Structure 1
Amino acid sequence: MSKVLETTLEIDLKALTHNFNYLKSKLRPTTKFLGVVKAFAYGSDAVEVAKHLQHLGADYLAVAYVKEGVALRDAGVTLPILVLHPQPVNFKTLIDRCLEPSLYSFKVLNEFIEISKNLNQSNYPVHIKINTGLNRLGFTADDIEAVSDKAKTNESIKIKSVFSHLAASEDLNESEFTLNQISQFKLIAKNFSELLGYQPWLHICNTSGVLNYPEAHLDMVRCGISLYGFGNNPKYDQYLKPIASLKSVISQIHLIKKGESIGYNRALVAENDMKTATIPIGHADGLSRIYGKGKGFVFINDQKAPIAGNVCMDMIMVDITHINCDEGDEVIVFDNNHTANDLAASTGTISYEILTAISNRVKRCYIK
């Protein structure tokens, strides 16, 4: 790519292809692949990523909310789309746009059955979420008989899959807990299928489940962060390519004298003469205030420049005292060499938060 002239998120679809192929190589040919594109495809671009995954041969997509699925349908995405956390107020829209709900409680199950009946649906595909230890959403083992009874006595719906979510699959110190989740899920799913009289698809693996627990791949896997280049472990990160690079430019350079302050609340007072660069990216673009006061950093001419003072809404100032650079020079917030993991580690957070925080006002461009 040519040098950026403004704050830009570069999205490398070639890297997405690489990650997809790497993950597919871990699966049996019969295991289906679901690409998770919620949260604007982890802060990149849900439409472009979804279309590319469709082109690559993904079997399914997943979003968190109905609105996200509608945006993909409006853009011409035709793959089946699982909505992981739908609200009943949006069920009619969900059906109108041929989206498929995760049903995780009796309230949402009953309301979806009622709306699907009112809309004269027959065998509408739904997905039943089972809680095996994450304790976030899902039916319990004790609920299965009642859920199966409702499914068998209501022709408006058809259970397409039964699934659960691993709580700590990236942490091998918690392997006993994870293996117990997998075992529990398989037992619940077996009993559920017997009660239903047919076999829905089963899926429990997220990214780290795919990489660490091949015995649990089952009928389908759900890959999110790994598609975007992160494997939750350096062991796997080396085989993946981050698809997003966040870049900006130096707007202005200032010479700061000893005793002068920088930015809001005089958060930094220069102990010695110093030089700073002002960069057009701030907390409204997704670079949180928590990165201020030297916790966060950028790279200019491959040298680390700590953030000086507080992060502003639209700008940061960085210390370039020992960096040879000029106004207009390119600034790297994160890329393949200086990853979002590195920036996240500076404040004890994770790459997910860095990526998904990137504002829609940041320009996107694509490497195809």
Structure 2
Amino acid sequence: MPKAQETVLEIDLKALKHNFDHLKSRLNSNTKFMAVVKAFAYGSDACELANYLQNQAVDYFAVAFVHEGVKLREAGITKPILVLHPQAANFKILIDNCLEPNLYNAKILNEFIAIASTEKLNHYPIHIKFNTGLNRLGFSENEVNTVVSKVKETSAVKIQSVFSHLAASEDLNERDFTLNQIEKFKNITEALTKAMGYKPLLHICNTSGILNYSEAHFDMVRSGIGMYGFGNSEKENKNFKPIGTLKTIISQIHEINKGESVGYNRAFKTDAFLRTATLPIGHADGIGRQYGKGKGYVIINNQKAYIIGNVCMDMIMVNVTDFDCKEGDEVIVFGPNNTAENLAETANTISYELITGISQRVKRVFIGY
């Protein structure tokens, strides 16, 4: 692969296919696959990746907000798109773009039925979310009859799927809690299906649910982080390939004498001679202020170069005192061998936060077509 000449996020589509194929291999052949491409496909490029995945037998896409779904439609995505957290103010746009809403409480269900009726829609697909323990969004278990009565009294909408979200599927110490969520979901969906007289698609598993709870795959599963190369455990990470490599270069090397400081607020002061490399990437690019002062490192010529001082808006400085490196050399911030998970752990955060925070001003480069 060519060496970086600027800050770029290199996205490997072959790795994406590997991850998708691995996740599919854990499913029964008739289990549908929903690809979660919210948050710019976890910081990569939702339109590019969705178009690629659309040709890999993905059944559904999921986004968080309506405008994300609109972007996919404008990019040529024709598969069904679930909007996980729609706002009533955007319902007309949602309908105009054939997006499918998650309706999670009585207020938003009533509001969507009202506009669907006004638009004279017939059996428009909706998705109903139940809260089984995450306590974030969703109808409660005792609201099944509320949902049924509201939907049955109109022909404007039809329940396409019923789903919930596992709170701790990656943590096997919480297995009893997860099994309780799954059992609660079964009870809810059995009651709803019986009352409605037809069976919607059922789904509760996220990436770790796919990997750890095969008995709960139901009709469809949802995967986000797994597609992008992370299995949420040391064991499962071996089966995945991170798709993103964040690269930059050395802009300048400085020699810092004993007693001098580096960066804003003189956050780093040296008690001995050292060499620093300045890199053109900073907190405006997604490398947050929680890094620096010895937290976090990059790879230069196969060596760890720790971030020193405060992270600047457009730059970071790293310690290269004992390195054989020069201005213009390539730098790996994270990639398959030094993963985003590794870097995130140095600042007590998670790979999700790091990869979704990569700024849109960072150039995306796609390989592996």
TM range, smaller chain: over 0.9
Residue 247 of structure 1 aligns to a residue in which SS? strand
Question: Which residue in 1 is equivalent to 2:118?
Answer: 118
Deviations 1:117-171 (A, max 9, x none): 1111110000000000000000011111011011111111000000000000000
**Cα distance in 1, alignment partners of residues 108 and 6 from structure 2:** 45
Question: Which residue in 1 is equivalent to 2:211?
Answer: 211
1:198 and 2:204 are equivalent in the alignment: no
Question: Which residue in 2 is equivalent to 1:52?
Answer: 52
Unmatched segments (≥5 aa) in structure 2: none
Letter in structure 2 aligned against 1:75: A
| Pairing 1:121-136 to 2, within 5 Å after superposition | 121-136=121-136
Letter in structure 1 aligned against 2:275: K
**Cα distance in 1, alignment partners of residues 348 and 273 from structure 2:** 31
Residue 292 of structure 1 aligns to a residue in which SS? coil
CA shift at 1:22, angstroms?
A: 0.4
Question: Which residue in 2 is equivalent to 1:263?
Answer: 263
Question: Which residue in 2 is equivalent to 1:178?
Answer: 178
Residue 285 of structure 1 aligns to a residue in which SS? coil
Letter in structure 2 aligned against 1:68: E
**Cα distance in 2, alignment partners of residues 139 and 360 from structure 1:** 35
Runs of 4+ in 1 over 3 A off after TM superposition: none
1:360 and 2:364 are equivalent in the alignment: no
CA shift at 1:295, angstroms?
A: 0.4
Question: Which residue in 1 is equivalent to 2:326?
Answer: 326
1:157 and 2:157 are equivalent in the alignment: yes
| Pairing 1:284-323 to 2, within 5 Å after superposition | 284-323=284-323
Deviations 1:184-241 (A, max 9, x none): 0001000001111111110000000000000000000000100000000111110100
Residue 299 of structure 1 aligns to a residue in which SS? strand
**Cα distance in 1, alignment partners of residues 354 and 312 from structure 2:** 17
CA shift at 1:292, angstroms?
A: 1.2
Letter in structure 2 aligned against 1:109: L
**Cα distance in 2, alignment partners of residues 126 and 174 from structure 1:** 31
**Cα distance in 2, alignment partners of residues 173 and 307 from structure 1:** 34
Question: Which residue in 2 is equivalent to 1:226?
Answer: 226
Residue 291 of structure 1 aligns to a residue in which SS? coil
**Cα distance in 1, alignment partners of residues 154 and 280 from structure 2:** 56
Indicate the percent of aligned positions where both proteins have the same amino acid: 63
Unmatched segments (≥5 aa) in structure 1: none
Question: Which residue in 1 is equivalent to 2:272?
Answer: 272
CA shift at 1:97, angstroms?
A: 0.2
Q: State TM-score, norm by structure 2.
A: 0.99
**Cα distance in 2, alignment partners of residues 347 and 26 from structure 1:** 32
1:147 and 2:147 are equivalent in the alignment: yes
**Cα distance in 1, alignment partners of residues 153 and 88 from structure 2:** 21
Letter in structure 1 aligned against 2:263: G
Letter in structure 2 aligned against 1:70: V
**Cα distance in 1, alignment partners of residues 108 and 235 from structure 2:** 40
**Cα distance in 1, alignment partners of residues 97 and 274 from structure 2:** 57
Question: Which residue in 1 is equivalent to 2:168?
Answer: 168
The alignment's C-alpha RMSD in Å is 0.5
**Cα distance in 1, alignment partners of residues 186 and 48 from structure 2:** 35
Deviations 1:312-349 (A, max 9, x none): 00000100001110000000000100001100110111
**Cα distance in 1, alignment partners of residues 146 and 238 from structure 2:** 46
1:342 and 2:347 are equivalent in the alignment: no
Letter in structure 2 aligned against 1:212: N
Letter in structure 1 aligned against 2:207: T
**Cα distance in 2, alignment partners of residues 248 and 147 from structure 1:** 52
Question: Which residue in 2 is equivalent to 1:282?
Answer: 282
- The count of aligned residue pairs is 368
Letter in structure 2 aligned against 1:90: N
**Cα distance in 1, alignment partners of residues 172 and 7 from structure 2:** 38
Question: Which residue in 1 is equivalent to 2:94?
Answer: 94
**Cα distance in 1, alignment partners of residues 88 and 183 from structure 2:** 31
**Cα distance in 1, alignment partners of residues 146 and 343 from structure 2:** 47
Question: Which residue in 2 is equivalent to 1:65?
Answer: 65
Letter in structure 1 aligned against 2:323: I
**Cα distance in 2, alignment partners of residues 123 and 271 from structure 1:** 71
